[in-house]
Structure 1
């Protein structure tokens, strides 16, 4: 099975760019006027990530479990899966949590990083994978701390823990369980928004459909001029952004529909036919963002707030709109450098190490 699908990487790149745009205001110390109209819901990039994650995980895990000859082999596949996931996700996540705590203690003259107690509580939630519980209104929202984006990572990692067990328990009924989960999430709207697993479930359903050769895009679509095919991206993304507008303190009750739009993009990308190939050099830029999307997601808020602390220490204690360019450029440079270092020297080497560990774990069951 092909390890990397460029169109999936493009989709990841689009998703992280959406998330970065959503968090751009975190670069600037000045606040937005409450009378301003609501911004587009760029947070929908997270729902694109959910759909992609469900698909990528399932297209590898489900065939491996189906090919396992006996229960012992199936449990070995599951343990190897968890090993790969742990080494893929946890080292970089824990590194950035440690850097945040260091910044709270040593690089916080402006107070932008908040207090130690809040960040310790948030760090514990990130390490032990309950950050989404901590942020959900159903359970009573706790102070966020710098690591608030970890809510989505906790949700994904909970899903990675549970999905293999559901496959073992449900067998062929997994399809119906996933459909039920999606329907329930549609029914309850934005309630429990930090547990919105419908995107992950839809991604798994896409992988199941592809396994059974029921995920084909018509040939005529591939023969369309490239600019017509690429128009699909803004045509799908724009309604997602409109549906994602937040006019109050609560997310909109349209998250299920947003997940369906994200899944539509996923179906196109999953064809692996270059249907989402962008013009040069834009394609290479978006692939860079896609390949480093995890490090970008982890680093964005610490770097944005470090930018504010740097300029505070430089004497810009009362910034305004005229300082936007230098704040923005500083954040861009710091983010690119930090992400490249994290990706090259933490994420990639330990990902390869985890893959090697998993392969050795599976070796006794290979013919």
Structure 2
């Protein structure tokens, strides 16, 4: 397998992830007392927050795949971090600069504020500060907690892949995932009043990243890969079974025991389900699922998924402030129209950002080369067709 080759099905999965997140953030403020339909939307739309778990699985799969393919390269570390910086920093620095300037100009509000120091945002450790605010940080930067977890993961995982023999790496990654899920459950059991810490603390959210990474390592062993694809029917039915649980899982998150469900079993359940979906998306041959993931719509949203994740909330803030002079809400038809307008504004802004900032930065990143050929690049079944 060559991780440098683009896999269109993964773009589709990115598109699914960002659509889950943006839909959730758009309808999370709906009033469930407005009728049965509103109540159902309020209850089930919370499943959209699982888009972050899907992003984690995809990140683990792609990043560890790249690192595994180039672990013998003399430019292993320098090329990886140069490419990551050019991928992550340009849109992110635009967000942080705008946030800082607007906060200095207009002061604190729902969207702006200085509870988290700028230096923490610039060093990607803001998720640890978010624990103290218990989710009350400024809305413009609230979503960056997951980016911070990924960046902290990127600091450690290259060294792990480089140092550990591949024959041991799969077991270690699976152990990390199980340890993270177990520690999260134990932490919440010991600290039931901390409703936010288990959601944003890095050691407690590594199961999704570890599962994606484990799949990437497994694919690079001919024997393991063959065994995985030999069980594809069982994997498909297990995935269907896990997906059938999703409505009940979403309903439980709106119950009095929602945090217990989320932290004891929820994230591990989601990471496992999305890991199986990832396997189905990258299996040999073709099928209905793979055709759907190659759709142009999902591919488009996958292309702008990173910047849309960063900017869809600020776009809502701008639109609602200009038209209402207030923060976002979803109570009336006109509120719904403003939500649609804000989403369109975010998409157009991110499309322009991709055209003039992200795209050129990624092209610049490709000028940094690993000084060796990718290893184990014979898995043609999941290479781009």
Corresponding residue for 1:226? none
- Count of equivalent residues: 338
What stretches of structure 2 of length at least 5 have no aligned partner?
Answer: 188-197, 374-385
Alpha-carbon distance, 1:24 to partner: 0.7
Give the superposed CA RMSD.
3.4
Corresponding residue for 1:113? 111
2:225 to 215, 223, 234: 215
**SS in structure 2 at match of 1:288:** helix
Alpha-carbon separation, structure 1, partners of 2:51 and 2:270: 10
Alpha-carbon distance, 1:13 to partner: 0.9
Contact 1:103/1:113 (<8 A) preserved = no
Alpha-carbon distance, 1:235 to partner: 6.3
CA gap 1:210/1:279 in 2 versus in 1, 3 angstroms: closer
- 1:156 equivalent to 2:153? Answer no
Comparing 177-186 with 85-94, greater Cα deviation is found at 177-186
Alpha-carbon distance, 1:237 to partner: 4.5
Corresponding residue for 2:126? 131
2:255 to 243, 247, 253: 247
Alpha-carbon distance, 1:83 to partner: 0.8
CA gap 1:97/1:239 in 2 versus in 1, 3 angstroms: farther
Alpha-carbon separation, structure 1, partners of 2:330 and 2:269: 40
2:20 to 15, 18, 21: 18
- 1:330 equivalent to 2:341? Answer yes
**SS in structure 1 at match of 2:5:** coil
Contact 2:321/2:327 (<8 A) preserved = no
Alpha-carbon distance, 1:351 to partner: 1.3
What stretches of structure 1 of length at least 5 have no aligned partner?
Answer: 223-228
- 1:94 equivalent to 2:130? Answer no
2:314 to 282, 287, 302: 302
CA gap 1:133/1:31 in 2 versus in 1, 3 angstroms: farther
Contact 1:243/1:258 (<8 A) preserved = no
CA gap 1:97/1:125 in 2 versus in 1, 3 angstroms: same
Alpha-carbon distance, 1:252 to partner: 4.0
Corresponding residue for 1:167? 161
CA gap 1:54/1:218 in 2 versus in 1, 3 angstroms: closer
Contact 2:124/2:148 (<8 A) preserved = yes
Alignment of 1:46-125 (within 5 A): 46-65=52-71, 67-68=72-73, 73=74, 76-104=75-103, 111-114=109-112, 116-118=113-115, 121=116, 123-125=118-120
Deviations 1:257-287 (A, max 9, x none): 211111111111233644433459x911111
Length-normalised TM-score, structure 2:
0.76
Contact 2:124/2:151 (<8 A) preserved = yes
Contact 1:175/1:205 (<8 A) preserved = yes
CA gap 1:162/1:328 in 2 versus in 1, 3 angstroms: same
Length-normalised TM-score, structure 1:
0.80
Deviations 1:45-94 (A, max 9, x none): 111111111111111111211x44xxxx2xx2112101111111011111
Alpha-carbon distance, 1:117 to partner: 2.3
Alpha-carbon separation, structure 2, partners of 1:202 and 1:328: 34
CA gap 1:142/1:286 in 2 versus in 1, 3 angstroms: closer
